[in-house]
Chains A and B, each alone.
Chain A
Amino acid sequence: MRYFFLVVALVCSGPAGAQQWEDRQQFGDPDAPTLLRVLSSTDTALFAPVLNDFVDTVPSVSIDYHVAATAEIDQVVRTSSASFDVVISSAMDLQFKLANDGFAARVDGFEQPEWAQWRSSLFAFTSEPATIVVNREAFAGAAVPRTRQDLIRALRDRPDSFRARVGTYDVRQSGLGYLFATQDARTSETFWRLMEVMGNLDAQLYCCSGAMIEDVASGKIAVAYNVLGSYAMARDDLVDQIEVILPQDFQTIMMRTVLVSSGTPNPEGAATFVRHLLQRGQALSTLSATSLPFLDFTRPPAEQSTIALEPALLTYLDRLKSQRFLAEWEDAIIQ
C-alpha cells in the first residue's frame, strides 16, 4: 500500500463549494497526473480495498473519493455533471433516472451481461439484500423472526419491549430506503402491515444503515427493518450483539450501480476506473479483500428478488406516485 494516503475530510472546502460531505478521502499518489473524482454513497471503509487496488494497478491516477447520501448525489450530478467523473450509488432508481436523462456516458470495451447494465452506461456491480437486524439480547429466549410475518407477530406479542425500539429508513430522506420501501410495497401487502405495526410502536427513523446497525448493537433499538445486509455483515466486531436476518418470505435485493458522468472532462480515465471496478470486483470479493458482495456476472440473479434495471424504476420517482406513496407511508408509520 505504497500509495495509500488518508486525507481527513476537509469540510466546506471541496471543489463543489458549500457541499457538506459525509466523508472525503484521497487515494493514490497525490502528485499523480490524473485525479479522478468519485462521488459515492458507499462508506469509505467498505470501498477502500477496491480503490487501493485500482491506484496500485494504475499508479498514474489518484482518486478523490466523496461520500454523500443518495438523494444528494442525484442533486449534485443534476446541477453540475462536470464536477465528478464517476458516480456510484445504491439508489438504483435515481441512478437509472440519471442515465435515462442523459447524465451517464457510454463505456464500451467489455462484456457485461444484459441484466447487469443499461445502455452500456449504467453498470451494476454488487448484489445486496435488504435485511432485518435484531439485537440478540432483545430476542433472548424468544424465537428470532425469519419472515416479516414473524416480525409482525413478535412486535404484536410484546409491544412493550419494542416500544420506541424499532427502526427503519426514513424514506423521505434516504433514496435507498425509498427504493427498498417501494419495492417491498410492490411485492407484498405485508409491508404496509409491518409499517403500521412499527408506526404503532413509535418507530425510529434513520438516514442510513450504519446508524441503524450502531443503534441495534448498542441496544437502543431491538429491531431494524430494511438494513443494508452488506453493511451489517461487514461488522464482524458486532457479531455478538446483532443478528442479521435475510427474510425468508421474500427478499429485496439491490444492485449498487456505477456510471461515468456525461460531463466528465476525463472520460477515458473514468472508463478505466469503471472497467477495473467491474473486472476486479469479483476477484476481490473472493479474496475476502472487501466485504462488498460483488456480482458474479456469470450467474443471473433470481428473477423476483433482485430489482431489475429497467424503465419501470422511474415509476416511483414520479411526483404524483411518490407524493401518494409518501403520504401513505407517513400515515402508516407516523402516528
Chain B
Amino acid sequence: MTSALRSSTSLRRRLNIVLIGGAAVLALLIFLFVRHYTTQIAQQGQDNILKASVSSILDAAVIRNGTLEIDFPYAALSMLNTASDDRVFYAIYQDGALLSGYEALPPAGSESFNTISRTGRFNDVPVRITSAARRLVTSDGVTVISVAVAQTQDALSLTLAGISRTVAFFGAGFFVMATALSFWASSATIAPLNRLAQSITRRGPQDLSPVQKPVPSEMAPLVASLNTLMGRLDQSLRQSEDFIAEAAHRVRTPLATVRSHAEATLQRVEREENRKALRSMVRAIDESSRAAGQLLDHAMITFRADHLERQSLDLAALLRDLVDRLEPVAEMKDISFKLLAPEEVHVLGDPILLQNAFRNLIDNALKYAPAESVIEVHVTNGASACVEIRDQGAGFPPAQIDELVTRFARGENADGTIGSGLGLTIAQDVAVAHGGTLVLQNREEGGACVTFSL
C-alpha cells in the first residue's frame, strides 16, 4: 500500500538552519558591534582623563612679573593613576622649545589649540598621547604653551580584554538561547503537520471523511485539497461498489430467466438432437452464471480485502450454517457432509469474505467428489484457527498443485466439470487478506485436502 515517497530537505531542518544560522550571524554582529562600541567608550574614558590632566597643567601656566610659571597641581598626574599602574609621560613646550618633562614626547603641534588624542609610541611602548596648547600674552608679545601627556594602555587593554570576554559570553549565551528557541519554534511549527499525518494514519480503512480539526491557515489549502481528494475517492469507491452490486444483479437475473426458459423448452421438445442442444445450452448458461457470480465475487473480494474489516465471529457456526445450506445440493449427488467442529471457534475476520471462501472450497469438493462419498469439514482451534476440507475424489493433479490457485487455472481433470478457475483463487485471496494460508494437498488414502488456516 505505501510506496516510498521522494522527500527533499525536511522543513524542520530548513527552519533550524535558517534560524540557527541567523542567530550565529546576529551573535557575531552583536559581539563585534558591542566590542567596538565599548572600546570607544573605554578609550574615551582614558582620553577624558588625559584631557583633564593636560588642561590642569595648561591652566597652571601664568606669566608673573614677565616670567612664565607653571605650578601645576599634584592632581594633574595623580588623576592618571590606574589599576594596572600605567606609565605616565608628559612634556611642556614654550613656543616649540622644551620647558620641562620628557624631551622625546612632542606635542601635536604648537599651532593646534584643540585638544588632540592619538595613539603613538614613546620609549618603545605604545601610548595614548593627548596634547593641547594655550596662548599667553606677555609684555613682549604672545607665547604659546603646549602640553602633551601620554599614558600606556595596560589598564585599557585589561578593560578591553574583560569587555571582550563579557561580550563573547553574552554573544555565546544569545546564540545558545536563540538555538534553543529555534528548535522550539521549528518543532512547534512542525507539530500541526505531524498531528495531521497521525490523525490520517490512525483512521480506519473506510474512513474517508474530510479532516474537521482546525489546522494552521498555511496548511488549509493542502488539507482542503486532501479533503477534496478523499471526497472524490469515497465517491468513486462507493460507485464501484454500486457497480459491482448492479452488475451482479444485471447479469445473474437474465441468465436465470434464460435458464428457466431453456429448461421449459427442454420439457417440450421431443427430438433427441434438439434436447441435446438445449441441455448443452443449459450447461453453458450454468457455467456462465457461475462464472459471472465468481467474477463478481472475486472483484468484491479484491475490493474488500484491500479494506479488510475484521470483526469477531464464530468460525464453527459459520461453517455449520454453510454446510446446512449446501446439504440439498450434496444430497442430489448422494454425498454426505461430516462436520467436525468445537462448540465455538472465535476469530477476527470479515464474515462475508470467509463465507465466500469456504463456500467455494466446499463447492469444489462437491464438484469433484464421487457419488456416495463423504466430505469431511474439520474445524480446529489451535494456535491459529484452521479449517480442513477433505473429499474422496481423484485429488489434485500433482504436477499442477502449485498453479491451481492462480486466476482462471483449472486442473487437467476438470473437463466436464463446471467451473471458472476462480474458486481456489478467491479462497487464497481471502486467506492472504486475513494473514493466513491456503494449502492444497492430496490425501494418502486418496482425495483432496484443502487446509485453510487463519
Contact A320 B77 (CB under 8 A): no
Contact A324 B69 (CB under 8 A): yes
Contact B81 A318 (CB under 8 A): no
Stretch of A12-20, A135-143, A306-314 with 4 or more beta carbons under 8 angstroms from chain B: A306-314
Closest to A328 in B: B71
- Residues on B with C-beta less than 8 A from A102 are 87, 123, 125
Interface membership of A114, Cβ < 8 A: yes
Contact A321 B72 (CB under 8 A): yes
B61 to chain A, nearest CB (A): 9
- A248-301 with Cβ < 8 A to chain B: none
B62 to chain A, nearest CB (A): 11
Closest to B61 in A: A320
- Given A100-B88, A119-B85, A319-B100: A312 in contact with B72 (beta carbons within 8 A): no
Docked pose: A102 CA to B78 CA in angstroms: 19
Contact A314 B77 (CB under 8 A): yes
- Residues on B with C-beta less than 8 A from A324 are 69, 71
Docked pose: A100 CA to B82 CA in angstroms: 13
Docked pose: A312 CA to B53 CA in angstroms: 11
Interface membership of B99, Cβ < 8 A: yes
Interface membership of B163, Cβ < 8 A: no
Residue from A310, A311, A312 having most chain B Cβ neighbours under 10 A: A311
A310 to chain B, nearest CB (A): 4
Closest to A186 in B: B74
Q: Interface readout for B12-52 with A: 1 if CB under 8 Å, 0 if not? A: 00000000000000000000000000000000000000000
- Residues on A with C-beta less than 8 A from B69 are 320, 324
Contact B71 A321 (CB under 8 A): yes
Interface membership of A231, Cβ < 8 A: no
Q: Is the interface of A mostly helix, strand, loop or mixed?
A: helix
Closest to B125 in A: A102
- Residues on B with C-beta less than 8 A from A186 are 74
Contact A318 B72 (CB under 8 A): yes
B135 to chain A, nearest CB (A): 18
A99 to chain B, nearest CB (A): 8
- Residues on B with C-beta less than 8 A from A320 are 69-71, 92, 99-100
B19 to chain A, nearest CB (A): 47
Interface membership of B101, Cβ < 8 A: yes
Interface membership of B80, Cβ < 8 A: yes
User: What band does the interface of chain A fall in when counting residues whose beta carbon is under 8 Å from B?
Assistant: 10 to 19
Q: Interface readout for A87-121 with B: 1 if CB under 8 Å, 0 if not? A: 00000000000001110000000000010001100
Docked pose: A310 CA to B80 CA in angstroms: 8
Contact A101 B81 (CB under 8 A): no
- Residues on A with C-beta less than 8 A from B100 are 318-321
B297 to chain A, nearest CB (A): 100
Interface membership of B197, Cβ < 8 A: no
- Residues on A with C-beta less than 8 A from B80 are 311
Contact A310 B123 (CB under 8 A): no
B56 to chain A, nearest CB (A): 11
Docked pose: A188 CA to B171 CA in angstroms: 54
Docked pose: A102 CA to B122 CA in angstroms: 11
Question: Which of B81, B84, B101, B125 is the one whose CB lies under 8 Å from A311?
Answer: B81
- Given A318-B100, A320-B100: A312 in contact with B74 (beta carbons within 8 A): yes
- Residues on A with C-beta less than 8 A from B73 are 315
Question: Which of B76, B85, B99, B123 is the one whose CB lies under 8 Å from A315?
Answer: B76
Residue from A114, A312, A324 having most chain B Cβ neighbours under 10 A: A312
A107 to chain B, nearest CB (A): 13
- Residues on B with C-beta less than 8 A from A119 are 84-85, 87
- Residues on A with C-beta less than 8 A from B75 are 312
| Sample of 26 A–B contacts (CB below 8 Å) | A100-B87, A102-B87, A102-B125, A114-B83, A119-B84, A310-B81, A311-B77, A311-B78, A311-B81, A312-B74, A312-B76, A312-B77, A312-B78, A312-B81, A314-B88, A314-B90, A315-B73, A315-B74, A318-B72, A318-B101, A319-B99, A320-B69, A320-B71, A320-B92, A321-B72, A324-B69
| Given A311-B77, A314-B88: 5 more A-B contacts, CB < 8 Å | A119-B85, A310-B78, A311-B80, A320-B71, A324-B69
